[in-house]
Amino acid sequence: MVRCFLIHTVCPVNALGAGESRVLYCRVFGPDESLFTDQEREFSPEERRVLQREQTAVVARQVHSAASLSRGAAGRLLMEALPGEEALALQEADSGVLRLRAGDPFPEEMSALWLGVQSLGFTLVCEPHENLLLAEGTLRTLTRHCLEHLHLLGPGSEVLLRSDRIDALLSRLLPHGQLLFLNHRFAHSLEKEVAAYMTK
Amino acid sequence: MVDSLQRLHLILSANKYIRTLPPELQKRLQSLLSSPAEQFQVLSSAVLRETLPPAAHSGNYSQENIVQLNGHAAALLLSQAGSRADVSSLCTQLLRGLESRQSEGPTNSLTHTLPILNTILTHNPECLTEDHVTLLSKKLVDWLRYASILQGGGASSGGFFTGPRSRQPVPIAELDGTVSGDFFTVLCVGQSFTEDQWMNVFSFSALRHWLLTYHSVSNGNGTADTAHRLQLSLSLSHSHSFSNDDRSEVDGSVVSMVSATSSSSRLLPPKERLREKSFQYCQRLIEQSDRKAHKKSDADLQKACLVEAVCILDCVCEEDASLVFRAFPCIKALFGRLSSDLSFARVLLPIAQFYLNHGEMAAVDCGSVWALVFGRFPSELFNDPFLAHELLRFLRLNLESLQLRVPQYTHSFPNLLKFLAWDSPAVVDDFVDLLPSLVTAGTAVELLHTLLDLPCLSATLVLQVRSTCLPISEQSGRGLLSLDAFRSPSFRGLFLFLLRGEAGSGDTIDRLSTLHELLVETADWPRVVQCAQIVPVLLHIFFNTVITVADEKLLAHLILVMLERSSLLLNIPKYNKEIHRVFSSHLLRLCKLHPSLVMDQSHELLEFSGATANVYSKEEIYTHVVWVLGEYLSVSCDSRCSVTLITSCFEALEAVLFEITSSVPPPGADCPAPRVVTTLMSALAKLASRSHDLIPRVSLFLSKLRTVTRGGSVAWCSDEEDLVAIVTRGEELWSLLKAPGVAQSVLTPPAHVTTPQWHRDTNVALPLRLRTLTNLTHSH
């Protein structure tokens, strides 16, 4: 199962400190895991939410660091792709997978798959036994849709105000965090629904 | 309206702390959840997720029936679950909904059942009762095995020819276009799909998790049960009949191999039946993956299906060992098909897992599998981050098993370390866990050399990749002398040694310094720098582990390696210093554990400490070597120690001390650190206290030192405070040595003084015990 999906910055942001990442979109799936761990006391909803926020912030920071190191090592120059060149931007994207140790920040070990498209990072946090080939494919599809429908490549990105579109996308392609084995016909059917939503 | 909702959501989500909305607004949004316009559903669900549920919500929780909600409202309900009981009640509702098959609800609600259940199961498998598990097992069997094999009617895709012709039921097709000859799977295509075909996709997507949750626990079956099951499955594998209570249709036409060998599921209980059907589904997927898909996305899906199918087969074979004999031919054939194609490497890893788990039982030779995993994959796919992650994870999870069953594991570190050399930050975490298992007495020395030259390996891998990209004829323009060297035949051997796949052909090469010179320009390449940063960490782990497996002879050899390599490292800024620091701390530790090591390696240590140049170039190590000599070169540590040895050591150190305190440091070097001087002085004093003839010589030196420094500054010490400290120390030692007997007991104390066990001493024990008890009883 996928625990969460994030969109965040992977480049330096002026307003933040070095290495800090701004989370632009975050969706956590399923019931709160803190309900099931043996705690001395149960967390209140406020505390649970803060905990969730902090966890996703940690993930974003770690992916930011991994992406920067990976880009530095590869030594490639970041090419600015223009709107309309989403497929190219996706092809050129850096990708990788990070091991999140148990406790850092989730109670169990997790794998964080990430795609870095210019200044944005798209991250899927999965349970470790998950089918990473499928997860990688799903992440690429999600990223492609996000780039296309939210105009993320041009100036004036709409990710912050149009997060409902991402929600609708996720409810089709990653319902409640479930990765789906979709051949091109099933995918086509779902993508038609997504496109219909986006045009509203 | 949509705009304001979007803005409201943005404001709420940007805030770290959760807010409560005014009850009116809350109610309004709640009602929007069931709006026919999906956008309102999505937005209201998103907004409500960012807020606290209303206070009286815990009562409301059970009133909402999740089955009747759309996907977005269901997600909200799930996220608002406040306790285990809430989650359990959601489960119960979902399953009740499945049972009664409410047809008024929107079709969405059915497809979302499995994902919601699946996410709940991750944390709370106990929320499903035995009956629930049985019910769901039956449903899963229906959806997986008996989904419709005709294309969905539904809306026509709007072609030219609408009419009676297009409404004739058309069978589903395979990915290569041929008509499907067996049951529906995720690798079947059609123009549109029926509901049960959708459920087939959802079921398979959730299947592995389900099996791992409910089938991985062994229910303590005795051997009698296993024998019964084996008998049943063998006798049934020849029959060909269908169960009464499911919706399957007898299809007499083309039936693939899988169905022909299906067992009569009527006789098996639901859990076992699901296992059997899962088995068949996976076999069919493996067959289907051999077809040439028309689209690339489908080819990728085939790979993912292969991975999943093999994992599920592994899972069911774990639970029912009798299935291994049916599964192995299939897996073996798959391995044969894929093993020469590196693009299927990630599929071969689950196959390797299967071999590891069941190979012994099936008495299958796994040699070719390990040759891939420890040979070709690291040496040719070291730059695939996903493969690296999965392979290293495979090693981590199966460490014990691998150490038992794969004898070449401990010799494969030259290959495995290639993952680390290429992308240190991404995999260093895995190696922190794996390295201890690679440290053995037989390979320790070679491993140490390999770790020290990891940045060189890093550079070599970069060169290897570049070499394949750039045409050979092109002169490497921008100063890539290293690339020329890499390609030149006279230096090939050096690089080939670094790129070797297995340990055992030699600890290191003679011409190491040549190699370092060739690679000098790579010292600022990012991968090399990143690699250099993690080597100290790995060295610490290496040394911590090696003391548990090594005998004294090996440890003595390692000390030798440390001394040799301290001047034989790739010249990366700060790298040398860091390595020296690691060496120093472990040299100390080793000698403390085994003081006789100093005696064993006295010749080399003496030679090292007698070279004045080392004071300036390897200050840290030099200091520690001198300290170690002073401390442990005595009869009480090792009976082989002779007066002659002490005297020759004394003379060597004395010469160095004279030299560095009587002249200016060589050009380019800083003044020797005060610590070096004082350590030398202390060492001399210690040695003298063991051989009293030497005392006059030390005392003479120390008094001379006092005289010289009284005149003010000296050429070999720039800081006045430091000089004062040195002189003070000198005076302390001088006065100590005036009473040789006292000096001996202070500078060479017997063991019981240096390893006090105060709790045993009758006088000291009582106050200690009282203090401990007080601390314990005063709880924080």
* pLDDT band (50, 70, 90) for residue B63: low
Cα–Cα distance, A98 to A132 (Å, whole number)? 12
How far apart are the C-alpha atoms of B570 and B449, rounded to whole Å?
12
Report domain extents, chain B.
Answer: 128-151+170-217+227-233+269-320, 327-407, 413-471+480-593, 622-779
Smallest CA–CA distance from B529 into chain A, residue: A73
Instruction: State how far the alpha carbon of B635 is from the alpha carbons of A154, B596, B599, B645, in Å.
Output: 78, 10, 10, 11
CB of B653 closer than 8 Å to CB of B629: yes
Nearest CA-CA partner of B565 in B441, B421, B452, B444: B452
**Are A164 and B119 an interchain contact pair (Cβ–Cβ within 8 Å)?**
no
Q: Is the pLDDT of residue B228 over 50?
A: no
Segment A152-174 mean pLDDT:
81
Question: What average pLDDT does the segment B3-25 reach?
Answer: 79
DSSP B477-530: TTT-HHHHHHH-HHHHHHHHHHT-SSS-S-S--TTHHHHHHHTGGGGGSHHHHH
Least confident of B116-130, B143-157, B193-207: B143-157
Tell me, what's the pLDDT at A158?
A: 67
- pLDDT for B739: 87
Q: What's residue B234's pLDDT?
A: 47
Q: What is the pLDDT of residue B155?
A: 47
pLDDT of A164 > 60? The answer is: yes
AA letter at A45: P
Q: Is the pLDDT of residue B647 over 90?
A: yes
* Pick from A170-179, B78-87, B272-281, B676-685: least confident: B78-87
The per-residue pLDDT for B120 is 86
Check residue B39 and give its pLDDT: 86
Closest CA to B615 of B662, B659, B649, B565: B659
Task: List, for residues B398-420, the tens digit of each pLDDT value.
Answer: 999 999 999 999 999 999 999 99
**pLDDT, mean of residues B773-777:** 87
Q: Return the CA Rg of chain A.
A: 17
Interface membership of B618 toward A (CB under 8 Å): no
pLDDT attached to residue B504:
92
A75: left (phi over 0), alpha (psi -120 to 50) or beta: left
Chain B neighbors of A53, CB-CB under 8 A: 16
Residues B171-187, mean pLDDT to the nearest whole number: 91
The predicted pLDDT at position B243 comes to 38
What's the pLDDT at B156?
46
From B30's Cα to the closest Cα of chain A, the distance in A is 17
One-letter amino acid of B403:
Q
Q: A96: which strand partners?
A: A114
Residue B465 has pLDDT above 70, yes or no: yes
Domain architecture of chain A: domains with CATH:
2-199 (3.30.450.60)
Question: What integer pLDDT is reported at residue A38 of this predicted model?
Answer: 64
Angle at B293 between CA B289 and CA B299, to 5 degrees: 65
Nearest to B15 by CA among A46, A13, A162, A40: A46
Q: Which residues contact B174 (CB under 8 A, 6 or more apart)?
A: B180, B187, B188, B189, B288, B291
Q: Which tens digits make up the pLDDT trace of B323-378?
A: 999 999 999 999 999 999 999 999 999 999 999 999 888 888 899 999 999 999 99
Give the 3-state secondary structure of residue A5.
strand
Q: Provide the pLDDT confidence category of residue B259 given band limits of 50, 70 and 90.
A: very low
Of B112-116, B280-284, B328-332, B568-572, the range with the lowest mean pLDDT is B112-116
Select, from the ranges A44-48, B27-31, B89-93, B558-562, the one with the highest average predicted confidence (pLDDT).
B558-562
Alpha carbon of residue B238 to chain centroid: 45
**Residues of chain B with pLDDT > 90: what percent?**
51
**pLDDT computed for residue B91 by the predictor:** 84
Task: Tell me whether residues B46 and A167 touch, CB distance under 8 A.
Answer: yes
User: How far, CA to CA in Å, does B697 sit from each of B125, B612, B674?
Assistant: 80, 20, 21
What pLDDT score does B266 carry? 58
Choice between B292 and B753, residue whose per-residue pLDDT is larger: B292
Chain B residues within 8 A of A70 when measuring between CB atoms: 385, 423, 425-426
State the number of CA atoms in the 13 A half-sphere of B289 facing the CB: 26
Helices marked H in B50-83 — which ranges? Answer: 57-60, 71-79
Q: Assess whether pLDDT exceeds 60 at residue A141.
A: yes
Instruction: Give the Cα separation of B455 and B444 in Å (integer).
Output: 19
pLDDT over 90 (residue B240): no
- Chain B: give the shortest CA distance to residue A113, in Å: 9
Question: Predicted ipTM?
Answer: 0.95
Flag whether pLDDT at B221 surpasses 70. Answer: no
B526 in contact with A at a CB cutoff of 8 Å? yes
Calculate mean pLDDT across residues B618-632. 94
The answer to whether residue B278 scores a pLDDT higher than 70 is: yes
Is A44 at the interface with chain B, CB within 8 A?
Answer: no
Considering only CB atoms, A197 lies closest to which of B38, B119, B198, namely B38
Mean pLDDT of chain A: 87
The whole-chain average pLDDT of chain B stands at 85
First-to-last C-alpha distance (Å) of chain A: 30
CB pairs under 8 A between A and B: 199
Res. B158: pLDDT tops 60: no
Lowest pLDDT segment from B187-196, B383-392, B537-546: B187-196
Q: What is the pLDDT of residue B226?
A: 43
> What pTM was estimated for this model as a whole?
0.88
CB < 8 Å from A in window 249-268 of B: none
Give CA–CA dist B423/B648, Å, rounded. Answer: 49
Nearest CA in chain A to B124: A36
Among A49, A55, A61, A138, pick the best mutation site for testing chain B contact (most B Cβ within 10 A): A49
